[in-house]
């Protein structure tokens, strides 16, 4: 059993949205661990504002909330 604590990262993104620095449809660059955590999942380490980003803020928040739960 493994768990991911993305609470701080989720809070940071939500604050950036409230402050108008990010929007749900904005593309951002996601920094991931170089080693797989399980299966094909590479944990998220951080994000950067980027016009040539990999995913939207909404997609990242959805992933973080999913993996923030305990995995059985």
Tell me what pLDDT residue 50 has.
73
- First-to-last alpha carbon distance for the chain, in angstroms, is 5
Tell me what pLDDT residue 72 has.
42
Q: Residue 12: is its pLDDT beyond 90?
A: yes
CA-to-CA dists, residue 53 to 48, 49, 58, angstroms: 8, 8, 13
Mean pLDDT of the chain: 86
Tell me what pLDDT residue 40 has.
87
Average pLDDT score over residue span 26-45: 90
Q: Residue 4: is its pLDDT beyond 80?
A: no
Looking at per-residue pLDDT, the higher value among 69 and 5 belongs to 5
Strand partners for 31? 46
Q: Contact 64/9 with Cβ under 8 angstroms?
A: yes
């Amino acid at each position: 059993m493994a768990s991911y604590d993305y609470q701080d990262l989720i809070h940071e993104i939500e604050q950036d949205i409230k402050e108008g620095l990010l929007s749900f449809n904005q593309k951002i660059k996601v920094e991931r661990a170089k080693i797989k955590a399980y299966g094909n999942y590479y944990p998220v380490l951080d994000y950067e504002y980027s016009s040539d980003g990999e995913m939207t803020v909404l997609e990242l928040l959805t992933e973080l909330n999913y993996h923030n739960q305990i995995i059985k």
